[in-house]
Amino acid sequence: MPLLFVPTPLGNLRDVTLRAVDALRDAEVIVAEDTRVARKLLAALGIEGREIWSYREQNATRATPAIVERARNGLVAVTSDAGMPGISDPGSALVAAARAAGVRVEVLPGPSAATGVALLSGFPLARFSFEGFPPRTRSARRSQFERALQPGVTTIWYESPRRLRAALADLAEVAPDAAIFVVREYTKLHEEQLWGTPAEVLARLSDPVRGEVAFAIAPHSAPPPARPGAAETVAAIDALLADGRRVGDVAKLLAARGYGDRQQLYARAAERKARRKTSIKER
């Protein structure tokens, strides 16, 4: 029997697939991120009397062996609170453990906020990257944005409504001209869609922000860093020469740091080294 991953509706119950209903009805055990949410869904679908096991980040390591063992002889359906289980929730390790134990794994197609938001954004999708949740701290969040944004790649993110304002403020610092698309309560009654720069979207957000949130950032090219001026370049060359570096090494290091063309830096470093020698002799 397989270990069957079953996507559940993001908000609108009519998004559940017929295969998902069949799987939940036939399963001997239903593995759920939150057993209370799972019971509400099953009740809405008219499915009763199912054994439900908890599987979440806090107990995933401990619960995995029992889930895999149960799937050897019976149908076990794995769900999340909404959407595709295992995406920004525990699940990939469970798949790996099942395969290692020789237990077949199947994944049903179904609702996914990440792909829905990607298409709704209208941004190019020849290449896109799902980045999950940004880090919680300001410095880590800004670093993650800087690493993820690149030309030719749309990025998709989830975020807590409590941290969305802080995340967009950090994004405004990193890429103030970026085009973004924010969806709040996707597929639900009060769905909200916002486009613009980070600052523009921030200004239009409700306060407080409520509900599930996802956002997309269009492909973005960061402006090239400003090249150091002539005085800074000379100072950097002199500092490295004084440290005993060879001319070739000076040129290589400073070119890597954005000081300019390596050959030109080599010529300038050679000139500065010759001047240093002349100055020492004259003393």
**Mean pLDDT in the chain?**
91
pLDDT reading at 19 higher than 80: yes
pLDDT reading at 279 higher than 70: no
Find the mean pLDDT for residues 224-229. 69
pLDDT reading at 283 higher than 60: no
Residues 184-212 have pLDDT tens digits of 999 999 999 999 999 999 999 988 999 99
**Which of 82-91, 170-179, 256-265 has the largest mean confidence?**
170-179
Domain ranges of the chain: 3-107, 113-217, 230-282
CATH superfamily for 3-107 is Tetrapyrrole methylase, N-terminal domain (3.40.1010.10)
For the chain, give the percent of residues with pLDDT over 90: 72
CATH superfamily for 113-217 is Tetrapyrrole methylase, C-terminal domain (3.30.950.10)
pLDDT reading at 277 higher than 90: no
Q: Could you tell me if 128 and 155 are in contact, meaning their C-beta atoms sit under 8 angstroms apart?
A: yes
Residues 122-154 have pLDDT tens digits of 999 999 999 999 999 999 999 999 999 999 999
